[in-house]
């Protein structure tokens, strides 16, 4: 009887611990990936403006910075597929935001300051994850190139 009571007590603790662990994974802190995704989108948007103005090399450089910083967090962090999907949407939304501001002639000092701030944030991410980026640059090359070429295709169509 005592063994059964002790077993039930520990069984409850194990079940509760498993639930807490499982629930904590669902609520992982996504602040960093969300902020990096947002800034990657802003930097890509700024590069898209360069692309519209005929400077494709500047767009390629902006894409390299944005994707290197973003992928270093995505692939180094412990994020769920759902977290990454949302971060991708944040990136795309901010890319669109900058392009829309350019197209509607509402690009202002506030947006300019956001772009500068994002370059700073991504620069820090690049420095922080330099070894990860160097180690994985060949693995990411095709993904980055495909993403960059896809965005260029969209930009050319518009």
pTM above 0.85, yes or no: no
pLDDT along the chain (158 residues), means of 10: 41 40 55 97 98 97 97 92 97 97 96 98 97 91 93 90
Q: How many CA atoms lie within 13 A of 108 on its CB side?
A: 2
Domains of the chain by residue range: 31-157
DSSP run (H or E) holding 44: helix 31-52
pLDDT of residue 6: 39
The span from the CA of 37 to the CA of 76, in Å, is: 14
pLDDT of residue 132: 92
């Amino acid at each position: 009887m005592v063994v059964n009571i002790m077993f039930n007590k520990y069984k409850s603790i194990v079940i509760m611990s498993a639930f807490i662990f499982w629930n904590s994974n669902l609520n992982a802190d996504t602040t960093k990936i969300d902020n990096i995704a947002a800034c990657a989108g802003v930097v890509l948007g700024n590069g898209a403006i360069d692309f519209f103005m005929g400077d494709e090399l500047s767009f390629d450089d902006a894409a390299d910075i944005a994707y290197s910083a973003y992928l270093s967090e995505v692939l180094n962090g412990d994020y769920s597929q759902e977290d990454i999907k949302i971060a991708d949407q944040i990136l795309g939304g901010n890319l669109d935001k900058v392009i829309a501001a350019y197209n509607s002639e509402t690009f202002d000092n506030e947006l300019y300051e956001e772009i500068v701030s994002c370059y700073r944030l991504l620069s820090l991410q690049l420095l922080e994850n330099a070894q990860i980026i160097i180690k994985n640059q060949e693995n990411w090359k095709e993904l980055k190139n495909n993403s960059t070429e896809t965005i260029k295709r969209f930009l050319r169509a518009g």
